[in-house]
Structure formats: structure tokens, C-alpha cells
Amino acid sequence: MVGSVTLALNVLITTTAARSLPPRDAPSAHNATSPASSTLVWSDCSAIYGAGFTCANYTVPTDWAVPNGDQIMIGMNRFQSNTTGFAKKESLYLNPGGPGGIATSDLTVAAASFSHEVTSKYDLIAVDPRGLGLSTPIQCDTDLWNERLSYFPKTEAEFDRMVQHNIALGKSCLELTGNLLFHVDTLSIARDFEAVRIANGDDKFNFVGFSYGSQIAYQYAQLFPGSFGKLVGDGITNHAESETGSLVTGVQTYEDSFVRFATWAGTSNESALFGQDVLSLWDQLLVKLTETPLSVGSGPGHLDNITNEEFLFNFPEALISKEAGTGPGWAAVSEALALAFAGNGSGLASFAPAVVDGEIAANSGPFSYLAVGCLDWTYHSTTLADILYKQKLMTTWAPHTQGATQNYGYQTQCIGWPAPVINPPEQIELHTDIPILLVQSTHDPECSYTWAVELQAQLPSSVLLLREGDGHTSYLLGGETAAAVNAYLINGTLPAHNTVLQS
Ligand SMILES: *[C@@H]1O[C@H](CO)[C@@H](O)[C@H](O)[C@H]1NC(C)=O
Ligand SMILES: *[C@@H]1O[C@H](CO)[C@@H](O)[C@H](O)[C@H]1NC(C)=O
Ligand SMILES: *[C@@H]1O[C@H](CO)[C@@H](O)[C@H](O)[C@H]1NC(C)=O
Ligand SMILES: *[C@@H]1O[C@H](CO)[C@@H](O)[C@H](O)[C@H]1NC(C)=O
Ligand SMILES: *[C@@H]1O[C@H](CO)[C@@H](O)[C@H](O)[C@H]1NC(C)=O
Ligand SMILES: *[C@@H]1O[C@H](CO)[C@@H](O)[C@H](O)[C@H]1NC(C)=O
Ligand SMILES: *[C@@H]1O[C@H](CO)[C@@H](O)[C@H](O)[C@H]1NC(C)=O
């Protein structure tokens, strides 16, 4: 789905900008009978984000069904190229995915990926979805979050420990976050975008959503079919998938990408594993990691050793792009694995579990990842037996990667979560002629090509543009696919159905 915690734009972050937080108890933000400001007030924040950046806040109801109830803050930043002396242009809203990607941080890096033609036509606006970043954050107990345990329980004791952990963590999030924990689903997020669009005086909602961000795009379109202009999803999820279906397609797309990587690594002279049986070495490494965690060396923000399961959950990040750029690139990954196969884990530090101990805004990313997923996806398994059926299913379809995916993560981590599912999977019914552009690579490790075909069928006015190749999302790679997206954003030109591009 949705890509693991790190997504297209996220992986480009090289700096952590210092930023201020909306206070959760700002009196002006509470019990307002109407939004505090009816139009956005943009103020200079170039000192934080760089030249051309302005920032704004907007107040919305925590629960859109209770417009006069308690309120939260939505924070955002905007990049304007100075082609018209910083006059307001049309707006192009962006989301990097996740859930949990901090859009405002990502935009400082991603802005440079947009062509002059695009930034001459549009202001780029990154809105941090409710619950994270500059918006009123989700908060949880950090010690509980950092507890290590298995999400692949094999015994009743392990299963109970997992559920007890989930209950304790969820309780802490509810205590620290309050009512917002019940309302961070993607439909509420889509309503916030609509409120921000209106407050910013935008005639139409133009949006590029990467990975999970594609769900924001189609759930927005479902709610506000008359409001959108250009809508792009890059790296597609399908929120209509069944519990089991989402597992199977999720593990298959991860396995497919991994096996393609392993084949390349064993046969390419750019690989540190050239000439080796990479699949066999990989399987042996996994057995070793199951017995003893491998030391990865100490470093800021991560644990200093890694288990089999932690490695498998985080390894999709290694496959984000074949060339170095949005991800480390396959050549660098082959070097890290060559060391690991020889018993030296120093190349795997970036796959070790992140330790959450930073400031509230940074922590809110991973917390949102879980909080949004638990409201958006169903999880009916409540016994060890149910979970074991799923584990066996996944290792059957994906013997090398074994099912450590975002979908499976939600189906185990959400058992015992205090907030009920309020945006369950369902088919989109969209009656509009306004074209929508869906973009998908044929071998995405995190967003299945199957989901893209399934979503296209739900959106009759959409065209699915394929990039033949590897990696998670396409636009930021800057090739022919990016040019086709730009033609849509600039001129409204859609590619023909069944267009397949090579870069
Ligand atoms: C948004 O609200 C926060 C918290 O009140 C404040 O620190 C920040 O300066 C505000 N940003 C803007 C652009 O008004
Ligand atoms: C704000 O609204 C909540 C819920 O309606 C209520 O419990 C609380 O007393 C109100 N606070 C103020 C300051 O009016
Ligand atoms: C922006 O452009 C205007 C004229 O178009 C110019 O006067 C101004 O100096 C520019 N500002 C920056 C920060 O580049
Ligand atoms: C690597 O392989 C490519 C083609 O597969 C070949 O053209 C190139 O000469 C090889 N380089 C080396 C150093 O062997
Ligand atoms: C792994 O790291 C944890 C946390 O730092 C530590 O308690 C444990 O002893 C380590 N295990 C191994 C096998 O290095
Ligand atoms: C592990 O590999 C790194 C990078 O090549 C190297 O610097 C380090 O000395 C190695 N550690 C051991 C214990 O061999
Ligand atoms: C938009 O159309 C104009 C006129 O045909 C063309 O010159 C331009 O390259 C197009 N822009 C893009 C991004 O395709």
C-alpha cells in the first residue's frame, strides 16, 4: 500500500528543519463557532524552509460532524517561485504519503524537483495532514512505542504480549492526544484539504499525492467531485481491497521487487554480489537473524542491532529506487548486503528500528502512520490462530520476504487500538467527467501494480500511465513519466490509455 514509513518525498529529506509547534491548548483554537480565520494568512518562513517559503495555519473542527466542537490546527507551507514577483498563482497541493510523511519538511527538498514550467504556473503547497508535523500532533508514550516485540507471534504467550503492548500503547496515545485520535482517518484529512482550498481562495483543488497520498486524492474526489482540477496519484493504493487481498498483493509486490533486485545483484557487474547466489545467501542471513540479532553499530535515532522481522519490515526502503537518488540505489544495497552476508551488519543501520525520542513534531510522523492506518483498514483477526493463517499464507506467496508489509503491520498492530475503524475499505463511486491521472511503475516494492489497475477501474474518468521499471513512485525520477505528468499539470493533456513509458 501505501509504502512503509519512508516514502517518495520522505527519502529525499536531508535536513531536519527546526520548526515551531501549534500549541494544543491555544485558546483561540478551541470552541470556535466558525473557523478562526476565513482566509489563510501567509507569513514569511524562509528562515526555516528557504527562499520563497511562506507558512500559514488554519483551524478546523476535530470532528467534521461537530463543526462547533473542539478545534485543531492545520499547519502548512508554500513555495512560490518569483516568476511574477511572488504574486499568488494557482495552487498545487502535495502529499508525500505514509501515512505520516511530514509534507512541510519534504517540500523544502522536493520543490527543486518541479520544473520551472510547473512552478511558474503553480504555488506548491504542503499541508501537514491532521495529527502530524506543523498540525496538531498525535502523541504517544515514547517508551511504549520503542518497546521491541514480535508482530509474527508463534505462541499464545507471544500473541498476548503483542496485544497487551498494543492496548497499552493505544491507551497512552489516547491520553496524550485526546479526541483527535478518533478523527485522523483519510476522509477527515480530505475534508481539511477542502477547507484549506476554500480558505486560500483556490478555484479548484490541484493535487499530487505520492503513495498513500493517492488515497487522499481519490477520497477527496469522492467527497468533492465538483471541486478538483488536476488530480495525480503516483504509486497507487486501493482502499477497496479486502483484508486478505491486501495482504496477498502487498507481499507479492514486495517479493517481486526483491527477487528482481536479487537477480540483478547476482548478475550485474555493478553489484558487490556479482556471481553469487543472492537468494540463498539472503535466506541464510534471515535464519541467522532469527537466532541472534545482528549488530549494526550505534548511531543517532536507531537501535544498534536488528532482528529478522525488523530487517524485513524496513527493507522495502532499500528498493525504493534502482539508481541512487530517491533511495540508496541497488548498487549501495548490494554492498550493504555483501557485508551482512559476511556477518558485518554495519551497512544495515538504516534498516534498524528507529528510536522515537525526538521532538513532538518529528515523533508525530510514525505515530500518525499507525493512528491513520488503524482508522482506515479493517482487522478482524483476534486470535493467534487467525494470525497464523495469515503468516502461512504470506510465506507461501513470498518465501523470501515473508509478509513483512504495511498491510500486515496494521492487521497486527491495530488489535487492541482504542479508536474504531471509521473509514473502512470500500469501492469508490465517482461520477465525474473530470480526468484524473494515475501513475504507476510495473515493479513498485510498496504499491502494487494490481492496486493501480483496480483503482483505475473504480475511477472511469482516470487514465493509468505506466512506467516500465522498478522503484516506488515515478514523478521524482524526472524521466518521460514526469514529462507526461507535467503535460497534464500544465496543459491538461492526458496520455492515451495503456501508455507505457520507459523512464
Ligand atoms: C502557527 O501556529 C503556531 C502555534 O500557534 C505558531 O507558532 C506559528 O507561528 C503559526 N504559524 C503561522 C504561519 O502563523
Ligand atoms: C469547549 O467545548 C467542549 C465540548 O463541547 C466543552 O466540554 C468545554 O467546556 C468547552 N470549553 C469552553 C472553554 O467553552
Ligand atoms: C522577486 O521579484 C521581484 C520582481 O519580480 C523583485 O523585485 C524581488 O527582488 C524578487 N525577490 C526575491 C527575494 O528574489
Ligand atoms: C559490465 O557489464 C557490461 C554489460 O553487462 C559491460 O558492457 C561492461 O564492460 C562490464 N564492465 C566490466 C568492468 O566488466
Ligand atoms: C540489541 O540491542 C539491545 C538494545 O540496545 C540490547 O539490549 C541487546 O543486548 C542487543 N542484543 C544483541 C544480541 O546485541
Ligand atoms: C564492517 O564493515 C565496515 C565497512 O566496510 C568496516 O569499516 C568495519 O571495520 C567492519 N567491521 C568488522 C568487525 O569487520
Ligand atoms: C504545453 O503546451 C505548449 C504549447 O503546445 C508546449 O509548448 C509545452 O511544451 C507544453 N507543456 C508541457 C509541460 O508539456
Tell me the per-residue pLDDT of 178-192, one tens digit each, with 9 for 90 and over: 999 999 999 999 999
For residue 44, give the H/E element and its range.
Answer: strand 43-44
Residue 158 CA, ligand 4 centroid: distance in Å: 49
Work out the pLDDT band at 357, boundaries 50, 70, 90. Answer: confident
User: Which pLDDT score is estimated for 358?
Assistant: 79
Neighbours of 49 (CB within 10 A): 22
- Average the pLDDT over 309-314 and give the result: 97
pTM confidence score = 0.91
- The torsion of the CA quartet 192, 194, 197, 200, rounded to 10 degrees, works out to -60
Residue 46 CA, ligand 3 centroid: distance in Å: 14
Sign, Cα dihedral of 449, 455, 460, 465: negative
Tell me the per-residue pLDDT of 224-275, one tens digit each, with 9 for 90 and over: 999 999 999 999 999 999 999 999 999 999 999 999 999 999 999 999 999 9
Work out the pLDDT band at 2, boundaries 50, 70, 90. Answer: very low
The answer to whether residues 125 and 93 touch, using CB atoms and an 8 Å cutoff, is: yes
- Average the pLDDT over 424-429 and give the result: 95
Q: How far apart are CA 452 and CA 467, in angstroms?
A: 12
Nearest CA to ligand 2 atom 9: 31
Three-state DSSP at 501 gives strand
Res 1 pLDDT > 80: no
- Average the pLDDT over 427-451 and give the result: 96
User: Which pLDDT score is estimated for 387?
Assistant: 97
| Count of positions (residues) in the chain | 503
Tell me the per-residue pLDDT of 358-381, one tens digit each, with 9 for 90 and over: 789 999 999 999 999 999 999 999
User: Which among 490, 493, 494, 501 is the best mutation to test ligand 7's pocket, defined by most ligand atoms within 8 Å of the CB?
Assistant: 490
Three-state DSSP at 440 gives strand
Burial class, 385, CB count within 10 angstroms (exposed 0-12 / middle 13-18 / buried 19+): exposed
Residue 87 CA, ligand 3 centroid: distance in Å: 10
42 CA closest ligand 1 atom index: 13
Q: What is the DSSP letter of 167?
A: H
Burial class, 497, CB count within 10 angstroms (exposed 0-12 / middle 13-18 / buried 19+): exposed
Residue 297 CA, ligand 6 centroid: distance in Å: 10
The answer to whether residues 410 and 374 touch, using CB atoms and an 8 Å cutoff, is: yes
Q: List residues bridging with 208 in a β-sheet.
A: 94, 232
Q: How far apart are CA 268 and CA 270, in angstroms?
A: 5
User: Which pLDDT score is estimated for 21?
Assistant: 30
Q: What is the 3-state secondary structure (H, E, C) of 130-148?
A: CECCCCCECCCCHHHHHCC
Q: List residues bridging with 210 in a β-sheet.
A: 234
Work out the pLDDT band at 29, boundaries 50, 70, 90. Answer: very low
Tell me the per-residue pLDDT of 32-51, one tens digit each, with 9 for 90 and over: 344 445 799 999 999 999 99
The answer to whether residues 285 and 308 touch, using CB atoms and an 8 Å cutoff, is: no
Cell of 33: 463557532
Res 59 pLDDT > 60: yes
Mean pLDDT (the chain) is 92
Q: List residues bridging with 324 in a β-sheet.
A: 327
User: Which among 49, 81, 82, 84 is the best mutation to test ligand 3's pocket, defined by most ligand atoms within 8 Å of the CB?
Assistant: 82
The answer to whether residues 234 and 214 touch, using CB atoms and an 8 Å cutoff, is: yes
27-41, 129-143, 464-478: lowest mean pLDDT where?
27-41
Nearest CA to ligand 6 atom 14: 344
Helices 449-458 and 243-267, axial angle in degrees (round to 10): 140
The answer to whether residues 257 and 470 touch, using CB atoms and an 8 Å cutoff, is: yes
Nearest CA to ligand 5 atom 13: 293
Q: How far apart are CA 163 and CA 155, in angstroms?
A: 12
Work out the pLDDT band at 479, boundaries 50, 70, 90. Answer: very high
Residue 134 CA, ligand 1 centroid: distance in Å: 8
Distances (CA, A) of 262 to 35, 273, 471: 53, 9, 14
Contact 346 CB / ligand 6 (< 6 Å): yes
The answer to whether residues 439 and 430 touch, using CB atoms and an 8 Å cutoff, is: no
Residue 22 CA, ligand 1 centroid: distance in Å: 6
Tell me the per-residue pLDDT of 189-232, one tens digit each, with 9 for 90 and over: 999 999 999 999 999 999 999 999 999 999 999 999 999 999 99
